[in-house]
Structure 1
Amino acid sequence: MSQPIEELLRDLKSADEEIRERATQGLWEMWFMQKGMQGLQVLRQSQMMADSGNIRQAELMLTQLILSQPDFVEAWNRRAVLFYMQGDYKRSIKDCLKAISLNPYHFGAIHGLGLCYAAIGNYSEAIATFHRALEIQPFSLTNQKLILECTAMLN
């Protein structure tokens, strides 16, 4: 039986790395499985399309999934990742914000939003966003490092 989300979110703050890792995996699993096997299958297929270079098809699949399941947070997040990978930061930001509005604890979407802000040179917004991600995952070395890098860019 899976842990309740509150417990997983609390475990992200544990001093024990193994507990944090398990919680992280548990949350990703929960998010990917939000719409059951059918939703998961579309996410996987779109990822395979993207990995094989068929970005347009991957985007179409995710857009159709979003249209049919507008509350499917991971579909928004995956499309945001796709846009980010293409350098389309404006559209990625929009999808990240939608994912976060649906799930304010989605550290992946929050991290992605910070990456977008950094990519467009909005370092103070990036720093604030990475700090927000650290509130959920205080031990994230990646977000800590990105805060330092963005802070250096301000000077």
Structure 2
Amino acid sequence: MEDPSLAALLSDLKDTEPQVRDRATQQLWQRWYRQKGTYGLNGLQRAEVLMTAGEMAEAEQLLSDLINQLPDFAEAWNRRAVLHYLQGRYSESLEDCDRVIDLNPIHFGALHGKGLSLAALGQYREAITAFRAALEIQPYALINQRLILECTARLS
């Protein structure tokens, strides 16, 4: 049975009013970060602090430990995908993005990240597909529209 509050948030992502879309986006991120309660949230927050401080190895270890303890915690996989992307480890980022999407098919952030990783690997057609999938969920995300145009130009 589908969660009616989730369905409402997904509908709000398509609203013509920016405030409605922004609120829905924030609520989805909160839901994803809080999926595993205080323990999971605290782990993600510690990893973010480490990443911000440039302590990437420590952040990666923390996220990997969190993933080992909570393998269905999509946001832990997503944060590690971001870390890998920031380090230029695009294939590893792509693998983590795919895991997030397996766990949470509506994760527009992971779809966007998948597109970024594919584009960085020169796989522009596949990147366009990922950005389009993100746009199906979040149609007003101008960044994905722009990235589709950039990838299309690279194919010419």
| RMSD (CA atoms) | 0.8
Q: Distance in 1 between matches of 2:87 and 2:139?
A: 29
Are 1:11 and 2:26 an aligned pair?
A: no
In the alignment, what sits opposite 1:107? 108
In the alignment, what sits opposite 2:130? 129
In the alignment, what sits opposite 1:57? 58
Shift of 1:4: 1.2
Q: Distance in 2 between matches of 1:32 and 1:151?
A: 33
Shift of 1:50: 1.1
Correspondence list, 1:2-151, <5 A: 4-151=5-152
Q: Distance in 2 between matches of 1:139 and 1:90?
A: 28
Unaligned residue ranges in structure 1 (runs of 5+): none
Shift of 1:15: 0.8
Shift of 1:146: 0.3
Q: Distance in 2 between matches of 1:50 and 1:139?
A: 29
- Output one character per residue of 1:40-69: Cα deviation in whole Å (capped at 9) or x when no partner: 111010111111111000000000000000
Unaligned residue ranges in structure 2 (runs of 5+): none
Shift of 1:37: 1.3
Q: Which amino acid aligns with 1:150?
A: C
Shift of 1:38: 1.3
- Normalised TM-score (structure 2): 0.96
- Output one character per residue of 1:76-127: Cα deviation in whole Å (capped at 9) or x when no partner: 0000000000000111000000000000000000000000000011000001
Sequence identity percentage: 53
**How many residues matched?**
153
Q: Which amino acid aligns with 2:55?
A: N
> Runs ≥4 in structure 1, deviation > 3 angstroms?
none
